[in-house]
Amino acid sequence: MVERKKQMSRDRVSRLINWGHWFAFFNGILAMIIGSRYIGGVGYPETWYGWTYLSVSTIGQFSFLAFIAYLICLFPLTFILPYSKILRGIAAVIATLSLCLLLYDTIVYADYGMHLSPFAFDLAWADLNALLHGTSYIVTPLAIIAIELTAANFLWKRIDKIQKLNLGNKVITLVGVCFISSHLIHIWADAADVTEITRLDDIYPLSYPATARSFMESHGIDRSSQDENHNSSVLNYPEQPLTCQADTKPNVLMITIDSLRADMVDNKSMPFLHQYTESNQSFTQHFSGGNQFRTGMFSLLYGLQGSYGDARIFNSTSPVLTRTFQQAGYQLGLFLPDTNLSLRSSQAMFNDFTPVVANESNGSADADLHTVANFNQWHSVQDKPWFALLNLKAPENFDTPVGFLGIETVKADPALTPAQKVLFNQYRQSLYFIDQQLKAILAKVSNDTLVIITGVNGKIFTSNTDEAYRNLSPQSVKVPLVIHWPKAASPSKVKYRTSHYGLVPTLMTHVLGCTNHTTEYSAGHSLLQPSKETWIYIGDSTIFAIYQQAEVTVIDRHGKYRIYDENYQHRLNKKMSAPELIEVMREGRRFYNH
Q: What is the spatial distance between Cα 132 and Cα 340, in angstroms, rounded to a whole number?
A: 45
Statement: 252-501 belongs to CATH 3.40.720.10: yes
Q: What is the spatial distance between Cα 426 and Cα 416, in angstroms, rounded to a whole number?
A: 14
Q: Distances from the Cα of 485 to the Cαs of 97, 147, 245, 542, in angstroms?
A: 61, 68, 19, 37
**DSSP per-residue string spanning 223-278:** --SPP-------B-SSSS---B--SS---EEEEEETT--GGG-STTTSHHHHHHHH
Structural domain boundaries in the chain? 2-218, 252-501
Query: Could you give the strand order of the β-sheet that contains 551-556, starting from the edge strand earlier in sequence?
Result: 536-539, 543-547, 551-556, 561-565
Nearest CA to 535 among 522, 512, 553?
A: 553
From first to last of the 594 residues of the chain, give the pLDDT tens digit: 556 555 656 677 788 888 888 999 999 999 999 988 888 767 778 788 888 988 999 998 899 899 888 888 888 888 887 788 888 889 999 999 999 999 888 888 877 777 877 777 776 766 666 666 666 667 888 999 999 999 999 998 888 888 888 888 888 898 889 989 888 888 888 777 677 787 787 788 888 787 755 544 444 444 433 333 334 446 789 999 999 998 889 999 999 999 999 999 999 999 999 999 999 999 999 999 999 999 999 999 999 998 888 777 888 899 999 999 999 999 999 999 999 988 887 789 999 999 999 999 999 999 999 999 999 999 999 999 999 999 999 999 999 999 888 888 888 888 888 989 899 999 999 999 999 999 999 999 999 999 999 999 999 998 888 888 999 999 999 999 999 999 876 899 999 999 999 999 999 999 999 999 999 999 999 999 998 888 999 998 889 999 988 889 998 877 778 889 888 888 766 766 667 777 787 788 788 754
**DSSP per-residue string spanning 121-161:** HHHHHHTHHHHS-TTHHHHHHHHHHHHHHHHHHHHHHTHHH
Q: What is the spatial distance between Cα 432 and Cα 272, in angstroms, rounded to a whole number?
A: 9
Cβ–Cβ under 8 Å, residues 347 and 195? no
Looking at residue 574, its amino acid is K
In eight-state DSSP terms, residue 559 is S
* Bridge partners of residue 565, in order along the sequence: 551
Q: What is the spatial distance between Cα 419 and Cα 422, in angstroms, rounded to a whole number?
A: 5
Strands 450-455 and 386-392: unpaired
Q: Is 437 left (phi over 0), alpha (psi -120 to 50) or beta?
A: alpha
In this structure, the number of other CB atoms found within 10 A of the CB of residue 351 comes to 18
Cβ–Cβ under 8 Å, residues 416 and 424? yes
Strands 481-484 and 536-539: unpaired
Q: Distances from the Cα of 161 to the Cαs of 25, 154, 155, 157, 165, in angstroms?
A: 16, 11, 10, 9, 7
Angle, helices 271-279/418-443, rounded to nearest 10 degrees: 60
Q: Distances from the Cα of 242 to the Cαs of 3, 272, 317, 529, in angstroms?
A: 84, 38, 15, 22
